[in-house]
Amino acid sequence: MGELAIDDSIKNLNDDYQYGFKDEYDPVYTTGAGLNESIVREISAQKHEPKWMLAIRLKALQIYNKLPMPDFGPDLSDLDLDAIHYFQRATDHVSRDWNDVPENMKNTFEKMGVPEAERKYLAGAEAQYESEAVYASLKKEFADQGIIFTDTDTALKQHPDLVRAYFGKLVGPANNKFAALNTAVWSGGVFLYIPKGVHCKVPIQSFFRINNGSTGQFERTIIIVEAGASVNYVEGCTAPNYSEDSLHAAIVEVFVKRDAFARYTTIQNWSDNVYSLETKRAAADENATMEWVDGNLGSKVTMKYPSIDLNGPNATGTMLSIAFATNHIFQDTGAIMRHNAPYTSSNIISKSICKTGGICNYRGKVRVREHSRGSKSHIECDTIIMDDESKSDTIPQNIINNGDATLEHEAKVSKISETDLYYLMSRGLTESEATKMIIMGFIEPFSKQLPMEYAVELNRLIDYQMDESVG
């Protein structure tokens, strides 16, 4: 039961990457490569935005030009920001009827299961292709409850006061260099508003697709869940394989009001030429619950640390994540929890698997303020390293400024147990089948939190990286 047999059971994702197909199309509009003030003005003019949004963009560009690249985590020196196309318009309108989507883009999203998923079990769906949404729709029964679900560009036109009230309130351009970049050139994304007391029990989903090389995707997502309301939002991300690197630098802001609930699930399956550098932050008021469920199974480099500000008494925050890194992919992921009120609680569970030189780091921070008495936090980081080339580090920062708080932190790094393999093989399984069973059991705390359809998708994606172990 040596490591060589295990090595043979894992497939290079790029050899059979399901979403690696490419569409041949010419954008109806592009700003070309590179970024300057004229391009930022051009993006805003193309979108016919109000002057206050242009002012936000221009200020963010100034901040972006001054801020340094991150001085921690993965090496970003190979990312050529001057080669990126910061805005590409794939179609001249957002379709509300699937039949109106341009045929080549419709075919792409049909391969990703968008229309079938919408018909079967989604309350609404949005599809973004390059810089902007090409399709967005919410079923009438949910729209009749006052739910707003559209792309953020359309929301800016139809609900400008609401967008202005929340845009940038959790993630400002000074947060980091790529947050400043997003604020300067943002395009697309999701705007979701759940009115007071409304429970959206059926998931709402978005799909993000980068098709061309050297493309930047900078969606801006804003979710507002009013008092006593609830929502389950899911997003999926893919891109084809190109020799040129692309950049995905999204911002997500989630506002969870008193007694409300929000779950934000991401299944990221970028190809290995995408830098995924995202900033996600939520705020939870009194008795509110915010949950991040985050799956990272692709990209060249990922830097993502979803955070929750627990602003009201008895607010609860949860982060459940899985990262799978192969072939020198660098997954630098984690979570940030800020206990800003008494009797708040947070729970972080991080699962990582690395193989063939992959790197999986957990990087997290928990802060308990002086006045946040009775607060509790639990952190659990588990990693399986499948060969001697791969590595993993746990890099926590825990700041406790209140003596009446409880924090638990445990971390474990291990290889697949030969004892477990021997036991399973003694029951008739091959070594590859036994390896898969152990891996699936390891990620079960994550997959069981997904709707059934997404759990099946996650298992299938893992299968792509475990060739012979699926028989």
* Cα–chain center distance at 343: 28
pLDDT at res. 451: 60
pLDDT at 370 over 70: yes
Q: Is the pLDDT of residue 170 over 80?
A: yes
Helix or strand (DSSP H, E) at 377: strand 376-385
* Higher-confidence position of 354 and 291: 291
In this prediction, residue 148 carries a pLDDT of 92
pLDDT at 137: 62
**Strand-pair partners of 353:** 324, 384
Question: Number of helices (H) and strands (E), helices first, in the chain?
Answer: 12, 26
Q: At 387, is the pLDDT very low, low, confident or very high (cuts 50, 70, 90)?
A: confident
User: Over pLDDT 90: what percentage of the chain?
Assistant: 47
Model pLDDT for residues 29-41, shown as the tens digit of each residue: 677 889 999 999 9
**What is the predicted pLDDT for the residue at 89?**
74
Provide the pLDDT for residue 19.
42
Q: How far apart are CA 104 and CA 25, in angstroms?
A: 8
Range name among 26-40, 244-258, 336-350, 411-425 with the lowest pLDDT average: 411-425
Average pLDDT over residues 383-404: 90
Residue 452 is predicted with a pLDDT of 57
pLDDT at 213: 61
The answer to whether the beta carbons of residues 60 and 183 sit under 8 Å apart is: yes
Q: Which residue has the higher pLDDT, 99 or 254?
A: 254
Q: Is the pLDDT of residue 111 over 90?
A: no
Give residue-wise pLDDT tens across range 210-263.
666 678 889 999 999 999 999 999 887 665 555 578 899 999 999 999 999 999
Q: Which residues of 209-225 are buried (b: 16+ CB within 10 A; e: fewer)?
A: bbbbbbbbbbbbbbbbb
Please check the confidence at residue 174 and state whether its pLDDT lies above 60.
yes
Model confidence pLDDT, tens digit, residues 116-138: 655 555 556 656 665 655 555 66
**Which pLDDT belongs to residue 255?**
98
> How far apart are alpha carbons 284 and 277 in whole angstroms?
24
DSSP H helices in 134-225: 140-143, 152-158, 160-166, 177-185
pLDDT at position 375: 96
For residues 378-397, average pLDDT = 90
Q: State the average pLDDT for the chain.
A: 81
Q: What is the pLDDT of residue 8?
A: 29
Which of 108-112, 207-211, 335-339 has the largest mean confidence? Answer: 335-339
361: number of Cβ within 10 Å: 27
Among 223-237, 260-274, 411-425, the minimum mean pLDDT is found in 411-425
pLDDT tens digit sequence for 42-65 = 999 999 999 999 999 999 999 999
Whole-number pLDDT of residue 408: 93
Q: Cα(381)–Cα(455) distance, rounded to whole angstroms? A: 21
